[in-house]
Structure formats: structure tokens, C-alpha cells
Amino acid sequence: MEVIIQPDAKSATRLVARLIAKELRLKPSLTLGLATGRTMEGVYAELAVIHREEKLDFSLCRTFNLDEYVGLASDNPGSYRHFMNKHLFSRINIDPRNTHVPDGLSKNLAAECEAYEALIRECGGIDLQLLGIGIAGHIGFNEPLSALRSRTREKALSPATIRQNAGLFGSAERMPKRGITMGVGTILDSRSCLLLATGSAKAEIVAKAVEGPVTAMVSASALQLHARCRAVVDEEAGRLLQGQEYYRWIFGNEPEWAEFRQAEPARASLQATD
């Protein structure tokens, strides 16, 4: 895994958006794996700005979201489909038919999960999978003890996840207790992974996932098995990492990062929407 430490959440978020934009320019028909959550809001806001101001083209891009709550309709403000439409899809020139989020209302969830996997395969697999990390180490809804080879399936949410996301539903009681999620194995099949974590609350789990042992107790630790995984963290989320000096050296010296090293000028338009 390659770890990049940025001074603050804004620069970490911008870097992730820049990395996605670069891959999309290199391959306009990119198949992008997407995540939801507070951390991703800034990434999508930045991608919308790059689309608007630099004409980043999503017209040939296909997307697959990691997960969705079971029992929520797509127009429910708590659903991940709603989140994606609001934060990204409505702000860029993507064809809605090219965007995929598991259907949490499916009458046959097992069939829905199988069909989701089949569709990913038919599209040639995921080129770039964007990931956040939950405070108990989940990626998607792969809660602790998710099999490292798991595929898309229905999953009971852990108490930690319910606590983490309950605020978005007003209370834990109102929050769905099950989700559909790509498996850890599905995520590991992507050609590259890009994890973003910001804020002090993520510091402990980031250290476990990146430098701890690979264990099903911390699903994100499975990313250590991925041949091309980059983790971008801000100072706060990276503060417990033992290899900080080395990670900083990599970003400061390796040629592949040269184009991302210069601080970008603040953009009035982005600040206005923050």
C-alpha cells in the first residue's frame, strides 16, 4: 500500500479528486467504484468543480457503488442512491443509466447481489475503487469478521456502524439495520483502490488497517493484499502511523507524485459551496 499524508482534510480530499480526474482523462470509459459518507462529500464537490471548470468528461464513465441500505427507496434521503444523485450524479454529465447502486428494495436480495456481481464482470471489472473507512474498519458495509473473500451480499450492520450513521436518520431506531454491500473479495478484484480518511476519529483505525496485521476483524486491513492501493490521509487521521517519515518522503520525492505536489490555488467557486 502507498500512504500519502496531506496537511489537512481539504488538501487530502482535493488530491483524491485529482487522482480520479487523472484516471478518467487517461481512460474516458473508466469503471469507477464509488463510496458514500461524509468523507466523500468533499471529493464529489471537487469533482463537480473540475467537471464545470475544466470540462472533466463523465459521459462514457460507468459507476458502481459499494453499498446500499436494505429497505430504502431511491428517493429516501437516507438512501445511498439519493446521496449519489445529490452529491455527484446531478452535478456532472454522467448518463444515469451508467450509474449503479444495489437495489435495497429488491424482493430477492440474494439474486440482486448476484446480478450486481455479474454486471460488474460484464462491464470488465472496476478500474478504480474509491473507499472510505468506518471507525470499526469497515469498507462498504463489510463489518468485522467479513470474509476476506466475500462477494456482494446482504449484511447485518454492526453496532459501531449504527452509532456512526444514526445521526443521519435522526435516531438509531429509524436507521435500517441491514445493507447490501460489495464483498471484500469484490473490492480486492478492482484494478486499483483509493482510500481516503480524514480527521482525528479515524487515526486509530487507519493505523490498524494500514500497519496492523491483516485480519477479518478490520476489513480495511485486507487492502494490504491489493497490488495497487493508495491511502490518502490528512495529518489527523495519519497521526498514529509509524511510517510517517517514509510516507512523507514518498510524496515529496517520487516522480509519480510531482504533478500533485504544488499547492493548488484556492478556488472561489468551491469555497462558496463548502
User: Under rule CB under 6 A, which residues in 130-149 are in contact with ligand F6R?
Assistant: 132-134, 138-140
Contact range with ligand F6R by CB under 6 A, out of 37-45, 186-194, 230-238, 247-255: 37-45
Does 45 help bind ligand F6R (rule: CB under 6 A)?
Answer: no
Does 176 help bind ligand F6R (rule: CB under 6 A)?
Answer: no
Closer CB to ligand F6R, residue 161 or residue 249?
A: 161
Closer CB to ligand F6R, residue 57 or residue 117?
A: 117
Does 66 help bind ligand F6R (rule: CB under 6 A)?
Answer: yes
Does 39 help bind ligand F6R (rule: CB under 6 A)?
Answer: yes
What's the farthest any 2 CA atoms get from each other in the chain? 53
Beta bridge partners of 153: 181
3-state secondary structure the chain: CEEEEECCHHHHHHHHHHHHHHHHHHCCCCEEEECCCHHHHHHHHHHHHHHHHHCCCCCCCEEEECEEECCCCCCCCCCHHHHHHHHCHHHCCCCHHHEECCCCCCCCHHHHHHHHHHHHHHCCCCCEEEECCCCCCCCCCCCCCCCCCCCCEEEECCHHHHHHHHHHHCCCCCCCCEEEECCHHHHHCCCEEEEEECCHHHHHHHHHHHHCCCECCEHHHHHHHCCCEEEEEECCCCCCCCCHHHHHHHHHHCHHHHHHHCCCCCCHHHHHHC
Please count the residues of this chain forming the interface with ligand F6R, following the rule CB under 6 A. 14
User: Under rule CB under 6 A, which residues in 146-175 are in contact with ligand F6R?
Assistant: none
Does 36 help bind ligand F6R (rule: CB under 6 A)?
Answer: yes
Beta bridge partners of 218: 215
Residue 26 CB, nearest approach to ligand F6R (Å): 25
Closer CB to ligand F6R, residue 104 or residue 132?
A: 132
Q: Which residue is nearest to ligand F6R (CB)?
A: 132
C-alpha cell at 133: 473507512
Does 35 help bind ligand F6R (rule: CB under 6 A)?
Answer: yes
Contact range with ligand F6R by CB under 6 A, out of 32-40, 91-99, 100-108, 113-121: 32-40
Residue 131 CB, nearest approach to ligand F6R (Å): 6
Contact range with ligand F6R by CB under 6 A, out of 31-39, 147-155, 209-217, 243-251: 31-39
Does 218 help bind ligand F6R (rule: CB under 6 A)?
Answer: no
Q: Which residues bind ligand F6R (CB under 6 A)?
A: 35-39, 66-67, 80, 132-134, 138-140
